[in-house]
Structure 1
Amino acid sequence: MEALAQRLSHLDSHIEGAIRVVTFYDTLMRRRVDLPALARASAGLAECVAGIRLHGTGRVIRVSPDGGETSAPPLPPSSTVTITLDEEEIGTVWLERPGPANPLDEVLLDRLAIAAAAVVERYGPARTTMADPALVELVISADSDEAARARALRLLGFPADLPVRVAAVHARLPLDRVGGLICPDRLVKAAPLADVGVILATTLDPARFPADVRAGIGAAETPNRSWRQARTALRFTTPRQPVVHFDDLGALALLAEIPQDASRDNTDVTAIAALAAGHPEDLETLDAYCATGSLRRAADLLHLHHSSVARRLEQLGKTLSIELTEPTGLIRARLALTAWRLLDD
């Protein structure tokens, strides 16, 4: 390596400098340094603030050239490179150089990103969000014995003394991004299984799900039961309520146990199905009224005058043969609407 560097140095001083940078980081990786030490060494080499951020935990390390973590307001990054591990973007490294970029900054950051990925892989039990689907299936399957489930959880990086929550999701976004958003500071694992995504975490924040994601969240402390609950909760999601926690369903969860043939044969459910097929705007009115339980609040939701909504509900009541303004009628309509939605599963 040194002989090659000597020969190349006669050709191009930039190549000589690049090789020295590569050698510098190779030495750091052989010494198995941690992320703070990596940031300190990089800041000293670059002679400006160097930063490392991990998306999964939200951890940020900013080190000044003197080796201390800096609390000064960050400058706009002069150069940035993503940290990639197992083809997943897990973080970012950058330099905050106040003047023009150094010709070797790009080489330095490339090597820093590679070294940071190696550190995370070596020391972090949850090096990426995406997990082996086979391991995830072992965790959530009702057919797994407890020893196999515990081993799978351990391989995924979860501690044995904490319950694991499960979410079932339908999302256009990549699962690793969804997992990182809902659980930014703790271990989270995700994997696609058949037609649904699985997210495992010790803590989930329902408020952090992106707007275009449907998610059901299990409540049980055992992953296999939590998975069943999460799948059930996912069936109850709607555009108005895209995230449903199983605990919040209460007795409504029993509707998911009704055989679908029995629901299809029910007069109220049949009437809702006919309404959906022929009059989607009426179905939207009924949905808003069932969701709010109030004519005026439904009107606000639909951006209509309450008298217009009242006329629609009167006609809907006749069509469905349900007195929607009575408490019993409202309950019937809510149950029928929910049972019809479960048929679409």
Structure 2
Amino acid sequence: MTRRSPRTLPGVEALVVRLSQLDSEAEGAIRVVMFYDTLIRRRVDLAALVRASAGLAECVAGIRLDGTGQTFRVAPDGPAPSAGRASTTVAITLDDEQIGAVWLERPSPLPLDRLLLDRLAIAAAAVVERYGPARTTMADPALVELAISPGTDAAARARALRLLGFAADAAVRVVAVRSPLPLDQLGALVCPARPVKAAPLGEVGVLLLTAVDVSRFPADVRAGIGTVGPLPGSWLSARTALRFTTSRRPVVDYCSLGALALLAHVPGDAARDNTDVAALASLAADDLDTLDAYCATGSVRRAADVLHLHHSSVARRLDQLGKTLGYSLVSPTGPVRAQLALTAWRLLEA
């Protein structure tokens, strides 16, 4: 069979032939480069990358992303055995930041292993940059904190969001939650059709998402929904809204608070010294519940329905509460004073 002249082959293929005539290892190196260039052009995902690498290297290959903990480990003929030791490892970097690693597992390294892993790392970084990590819900808390912190510069925030899997132009907002339900389940529940990332930060759970279905929050979850806009502001407003949640209003959107949001900025000592707020500390739980139902509904009869009591019983309770608090709850300003006092008192408790 007649071999084609290098002059008849375009670009890289001609270079392969020329180098193969000089050095067999150089030919192998160029073939490795072409192999990964082809995979990148075909826009394969991480799973396909590691399968192809295991086949090319004829040993177990692996990819790990630090941001999500996502790991792929494959043998040439299928799933890799549980035990294994990396013979060669290379870091995956994106924008000068290490985001994971790739490795091969064999008894001892071969001459082209380092080159193969260098190209695999470049291909893996290209996949992450193009698509972000796979749509798992749980995320690295440090990466989430970087995205929402007011001290993060714009470039670092954009990089963190990309590593979390959000498009550059996505309108991401923050939801602060206290939930008995695992955060990954909660995130998938309230944002089932779009990307969502969740992580615990201290005692508060954080959801990063582009849409939220308020009706899908379980009854035992408290959630504060932040504003749409810059993430540091959304995080601050989400935490503020969370402070306003109650058993009757477990989900609060910051935008629905209006002027009530100003109460969150009242110094604690000033709130405690206020007569109306201080008076609430002496009330029994049933009295506080009655006051809350009345303020929430604005009507004795509707409050009675909420409390499952006769309206005359609620009226008597409110009359007695008015005497304890020092103002009439059925006067034009009474419900307003009580609502402000209840809100300020709860913010202190929160």
Q: TM-score, length-normalised on structure 1?
A: 0.64
- 1:258 paired with 2:269, answer no
Q: Which residue of structure 1 aligns with residue 176 of structure 2?
A: 168
Backbone CA RMSD of aligned residues: 2.4
Q: Which residue of structure 1 aligns with residue 14 of structure 2?
A: none
- 1:191 paired with 2:195, answer no
Whole-Å separation in 2 of the counterparts to 1:167 and 1:319: 38
- 1:338 paired with 2:346, answer no
Q: Which residue of structure 2 aligns with residue 304 of structure 1?
A: 309
- 1:153 paired with 2:158, answer no
CA contact (8 A) 2:132 2:163 kept: no
CA contact (8 A) 2:173 2:209 kept: yes
**Superposed displacement of residue 163, structure 1:** 1.3
Q: Report the secondary structure of 1:274's partner residue.
A: coil
- 1:327 paired with 2:335, answer no
Q: Number of aligned pairs? A: 235
For residues 214-233 of structure 1, what are the structure 2 equivalents within 5 Å? 214-233=222-241
Unpaired runs of 5+ in structure 1? 1-25, 33-84, 89-110, 112-120
- After superposing on structure 2, the runs of 4+ consecutive aligned residues of structure 1 that deviate more than 4 Å are 26-29, 85-88, 121-124
Which structure has the bigger radius of gyration? Answer: 2
Q: Report the secondary structure of 1:269's partner residue.
A: helix
Q: Report the secondary structure of 2:293's partner residue.
A: helix
Opposite residue 339 of structure 1, the aligned amino acid is A
Out of 320-329 and 289-298, give the one that drifted further: 320-329
- 1:144 paired with 2:144, answer no
Q: Which residue of structure 2 aligns with residue 206 of structure 1?
A: 214
CA contact (8 A) 2:184 2:198 kept: yes
- 1:289 paired with 2:294, answer yes
Question: Quick one: structure 1 residues 124 and 185, their matched pair in 2 at CA, closer, same or farther if it must change by over 3 Å?
Answer: farther
Question: Quick one: structure 1 residues 155 and 29, their matched pair in 2 at CA, closer, same or farther if it must change by over 3 Å?
Answer: closer
Q: TM-score, length-normalised on structure 2?
A: 0.63
Question: Quick one: structure 1 residues 297 and 27, their matched pair in 2 at CA, closer, same or farther if it must change by over 3 Å?
Answer: closer
CA contact (8 A) 1:86 1:128 kept: no
Q: Which residue of structure 1 aligns with residue 137 of structure 2?
A: 129
**Superposed displacement of residue 248, structure 1:** 0.1
Opposite residue 214 of structure 1, the aligned amino acid is R
Whole-Å separation in 2 of the counterparts to 1:179 and 1:269: 36
Opposite residue 334 of structure 2, the aligned amino acid is G
Opposite residue 255 of structure 1, the aligned amino acid is L
Opposite residue 233 of structure 1, the aligned amino acid is A
